[in-house]
Structure 1
Amino acid sequence: MSLETQLLEARNAYHNLLTGQAVVRIQRDGKTVEFSQASKKDLAAYIDSLERQIGGVGRRRPARFIL
């Protein structure tokens, strides 16, 4: 599986967690890995790692408002 495909799968899984799905599963290094609401940070770190390997820009951070 290409890095781009892995990244797409991981992003979709993260989206599913953010929109209320309790558990998501992705393929990682030939194994099925399960992420839950409690492990969103681990999945986000995996996405960042894939983006760095591909050479893309890291995940956008939420906008901050400074008063």
Structure 2
Amino acid sequence: MLEQLALLNRKVDDLSRRMTVSERNGVARMENNTVWKRRAPYQREMLIASYDNWVPLLQDRCRIGAVV
């Protein structure tokens, strides 16, 4: 299970590195928003993943209980 989690984390990290500058700035603006900060931390990963339609990746992460 830890190996699965490590693989999923690497995929999300790789995806965030491939985001364009404007996409990254959009994520930063949302993170600086007070309402956004009160939300669950995994929502940022969902936003990043949505750029490549990686919903199945996040569903797998939820299924193995890795999203805290």
The TM-score with structure 1 as length reference comes to: 0.43
Higher relative contact order (CA 8 A, sep 6+): 2
Which structure has the highest strand share of the two? 1
The TM-score with structure 2 as length reference comes to: 0.42
Bigger radius of gyration: 1
